[in-house]
Amino acid sequence: MHAIEKILAKNSGRREVRTGEIVTAKVDFAEINDLYLQTVYSFYEMGGEKVWDNTRCAFVFDHYAPCPDIKSAANHKEMREFAKKNNLKFHFDTNCGVCHQVMPEAGVIYPGMIVVATDSHTTTHGAFGAMGTGCGATDMATILMTGELWFRVPEIIEVRLEGEAPKGVYPKDVVLAVLGKIRADGAVYKAIDFTGSYVEKLNVAGRMTICNMAVEMGAKTAYMQPNQDVLDYVAKRAVRPYEIQYTDPGYQYAETHVFDVSRLEPELACPSSVENVHPLSEVVANGPVKLDQGYIGSCTGGRTEDIAIAAKILKGRHIPAYTRLVVVPASRDVMQECIAKGYIQDLMDAGATITTPGCGACLGAHEGILAPGEVCITSTNRNFPGRMGSTEALMYLASPATVAASILNGVITDPRPYLDEIV
């Protein structure tokens, strides 16, 4: 069996599972974000009284942090009341950050577990050798009542990433290149196992970036076999004992896609589809792409490593007049580390706006939304019309390095010449 199948078998009390089977499995941790007050309503409508285990579930207030309107404030109020009533051990309020960042930091994510959240980007936690997947309010209410949920055992496809990335090619560039080939519907209700020499050497932040965007290919979940970086990270934080699952030698994947990352250059997902991916050189060859805003943040592009590279490119420089750069750290811990290392000061000196850790403008609610006709280059994960504000705005997805170099010049720009200056 594959490691994902072993996780499903273990949590459903079975010796083995097979593709296509429906199993009922125990959920190790459940997370509800602040878009899903309906979960509370459904819980009570279905007869719920107390959550099944107050140490295995949490609210994360990240999409509206802090609240931009009365409705979101009222939602938070009701969710806080539910959290207090159930004495939840873990509660992440508006001072904490994005769910997919704060949960690993809090040690509730570890290898071999099943984590379900009311957020499609829960695939992120495959970076830790966990099975992470999203669900809706009714399914989440069921989990809160019983600690279990049904799953269909997915087909598993291999995305093998081989080679060493050239300077200027970051995990975001790699996953965009993969997305451009597999497309937005290429892995619907399948699991993606990212393997290969590139993955084996990848740090925690890079692994999270790649697994995060597996859902943009339609994937139900994602997986990476934990490496030493992951094991060191988890060992310092895990709140429970854990068991790493390994894929059996000779496992037959439903499909295999092989990529040589050494042949890549900086990539862009152009408006207005995540699969509309092109090498940066091809985009700029068609003429300058004028920008109104750069954006660095979200559960795929707001970690310390992302903010660090932007700060290093922009240090001692300043963005042009009438443009803006919005930087949204993924968590309070990320913000504090970036302050301590001087990155926040360097970015502010360069003209950046720094906002509260959280989702920010990634869902088009506040903290950097776009006006009609504006163009933004962003390290977030989706560029659908209306995703960051007006349906008439345009978004290019890119690595934080490309975002920084581009907003510095007011047009989409190759970051590699700037990287040569960084010691």
Instruction: Please tell me the distance from the alpha carbon of residue 359 to that of residue 380, in angstroms, as a whole number.
Output: 9
- What pLDDT is stored for residue 212 in this prediction? 98
Instruction: Please tell me the distance from the alpha carbon of residue 111 to that of residue 328, in angstroms, as a whole number.
Output: 28
Give 379's Cβ-side CA count (13 Å radius).
35
- What pLDDT is stored for residue 423 in this prediction? 64
- What pLDDT is stored for residue 422 in this prediction? 84
- What pLDDT is stored for residue 311 in this prediction? 98
Beta bridge partners of 59: 32, 91
Tell me if the pTM is above 0.85. Answer: yes
Whether 161 and 194 have beta carbons less than 8 Å apart is answered as yes
Of 34, 12, 36, nearest to 23 by C-alpha is 12
Instruction: Please tell me the distance from the alpha carbon of residue 218 to that of residue 183, in angstroms, as a whole number.
Output: 9
Instruction: Please tell me the distance from the alpha carbon of residue 216 to that of residue 82, in angstroms, as a whole number.
Output: 32
Q: Which residues contact 189 (CB under 8 A, 6 or more apart)?
A: 152, 154, 155, 218, 220
Whether 334 and 97 have beta carbons less than 8 Å apart is answered as yes
Instruction: Give per-10-residue mean pLDDT for the chain (423 aa).
Output: 98 98 98 98 98 98 97 98 98 98 98 98 98 98 98 98 98 98 97 98 98 98 98 98 97 98 98 98 97 97 98 98 98 98 98 97 95 98 97 98 98 96 79
Give the count of beta carbons closer than 10 Å to the beta carbon of residue 250. 5
